Amino acid sequence: MSTHAAKTQPTDTLRTALGLAPSGPHYAFRRHSLWVRVCHWVNALCLVILLMSGLNIFNAHPALYWGSGSDFNRPALMLGAMQNNAGQITAGVTSIGRHQIDTTGLLGASKVDGQLSPRGFPSWATLPGPNWLAMARQWHFAFAWLLVFNAFVFFVYGLWSGHFVRDLTPGKSDIVHLPREIADHARLKFPHDARARRYNALQKLAYCFVLFVLGPLIVLTGISMSPTMDAAFPILPWLFGGRQSARTIHFICAFSFFGFLLVHIAMVILSGSWNNLRSMITGKYVIHGRESDHD
């Protein structure tokens, strides 16, 4: 009863939100192994650099197509710029199929040294900042190697240690609890007691999708853009409907990763910032309640 009273204190609600230990009973356990923590941060670094250098590469030809070749008259997506008779850039236009959206300042045309210039993505989103295809490619390929190496280490660890089967594979109870969890997530209600010792069903599904669908897909579509690799493995471009389709899917995967990243960070903050962040740095995660209560 006293535990329950302590939990409803306003200061405790704040402490929980910030991920600090509650005033009531609590205990710590090691939530993430060293392997998971190291792989997580190497992966995070790779994803940020790959996304930003990828946007710089995209800026060299800011349009996407379906098929093997580029039908320049029918791009699936194009970030273009409009100019007036004097040659000044006046607007940035995003075309998706036949629809056109004014995206001046963000997509198609954005400021470079105070001057509106034709640019797919703006300079604050690309790595390096200026359009520099040669250097962006080198960054992209270097961190693609690191990403793949890191993923290899993580997959070997995940299979060998049982991490994938034990922590990530959704079970029957996950499916049963799914509607309830969706409702709880929508109301930003997250468990802080012993239930937080395991990933919930939504986490398992999200992590499995990113690890086993999005990850392999972005690597394979990336490789499909290499003419030498296409000669070595002709099945690759065929699988994705041609090199330009592979490039388009690569782009969609990149923004799916970006979407995942935003939701992931939002969830980390909303469900107890410091407790979550610390658990991915030192491994230590605080659970509300008494450890013996759950045995």
CA-based nearest residue to 3, from 22, 19, 17, 16:
22
* Identity of the residue, 73 or 292, whose beta carbon is nearer to other proteins in the bound complex: 73
As measured in angstroms, the least distance from the Cβ of 46 to other proteins is 13
Structure tokens at 104: 């001046």
As measured in angstroms, the least distance from the Cβ of 244 to other proteins is 6
As measured in angstroms, the least distance from the Cβ of 216 to other proteins is 17
As measured in angstroms, the least distance from the Cβ of 136 to other proteins is 9
Q: Which residues pair with 110 in a beta bridge?
A: 117
Q: Which residues pair with 99 in a beta bridge?
A: 96
* Identity of the residue, 179 or 234, whose beta carbon is nearer to other proteins in the bound complex: 234
* Identity of the residue, 55 or 196, whose beta carbon is nearer to other proteins in the bound complex: 55
As measured in angstroms, the least distance from the Cβ of 112 to other proteins is 13
As measured in angstroms, the least distance from the Cβ of 36 to other proteins is 25
* Identity of the residue, 104 or 248, whose beta carbon is nearer to other proteins in the bound complex: 248
Question: Applying CB under 8 A, which residues contact other proteins?
Answer: 48-49, 52, 57-58, 60-61, 63, 65, 68-73, 123-130, 132-135, 137-139, 141-142, 145, 225-234, 237, 243-244, 247
Structure tokens at 206: 């999200």
* Identity of the residue, 75 or 92, whose beta carbon is nearer to other proteins in the bound complex: 75
Left, alpha or beta for 105 (phi > 0: left; psi -120 to 50: alpha)?
Answer: left
* Identity of the residue, 62 or 272, whose beta carbon is nearer to other proteins in the bound complex: 62
Q: Using CA atoms, how far apart are residues 248 and 127, in angstroms rounded to an integer?
A: 20
Structure tokens at 87: 């040659």
* Identity of the residue, 85 or 228, whose beta carbon is nearer to other proteins in the bound complex: 228
As measured in angstroms, the least distance from the Cβ of 247 to other proteins is 6
